[in-house]
Amino acid sequence: MAENNFSRFEKSQIMNTAKVLKSFVTKKAAIQRKIDELKQEIAGIDATQKKWEGPIMDLLRGHRIEDVVEYKQELTASGKYSTKVVFRYPDTILPPENVAEPECPSHETAHDEPEPDTEEKEPEYDSAGFSTEDGLAEGEPAEPAEVVNDDDPFGLD
């Protein structure tokens, strides 16, 4: 077995580096222990969750509860918070899948007629950001400004 012969200077560097890194090595080991404990706790929660979810998984087509619902905090009238369970996909339990439309007979259907224009127009604005729907030209005042009494700027008289 080959032996490493470090010089006195190299040994000193190793020892000083070990002293500096001691707190980091200790902290890393403690965090690793916490990670291992948390992984065990997660495994236990998963096992319990699977027992409860088992019958529902067929209904959800393999999805888990957290894929389908959200938990929302709501402030009640009494000033306390309550948790409300809400479906993420309100029309269906799961996101809609791409389903082919059923074939229709060859006679004309309402789909052949053009749909009426139901789009709402966005209002137009001039360069100052005011709506142009009121019929005023750009820069034209809407009404004459109210005369303010210089002696009473807040109009208290």
DSSP string, the chain: -PPP---HHHHHHHHHHHHHHHHHHHHHHHHHHHHHHHHHHHHHHHHHHHHHHHHHHHHTTT--HHHHEEEEEEE-TTS-EEEEEEESSSSSSSPPP--PPPPPPSS--GGGSPPP--PPPPPPB-TTS-BSTT-PPTT--SSPPPP--TT-TT---
What is d(CA 109, CA 124) in angstroms, rounded to the nearest whole number?
37
* 8 Å CB contact between 95 and 128: no
Residue 111 to residue 24: CA distance in whole angstroms? 70
User: Who's near 67: CB < 8 A, 6+ residues apart?
Assistant: 60, 88
Whole-angstrom distance, CA of residue 130 vs CA of residue 106? 52
> In this predicted structure, what is the pLDDT of residue 1?
47
The Cβ of residue 123 has, within 10 Å, a number of other Cβ atoms equal to: 8
CA 22 to chain centre: 41
pLDDT at 7: 93
Residue 82 pairs in a beta bridge with 74
- pLDDT per residue, tens digit, the chain (157 aa), is 456 788 999 999 999 999 999 999 999 999 999 999 999 999 999 999 888 888 888 888 788 888 888 888 888 888 889 888 888 776 665 655 554 555 555 555 445 555 555 555 665 666 555 556 656 665 565 565 555 556 665 656 5
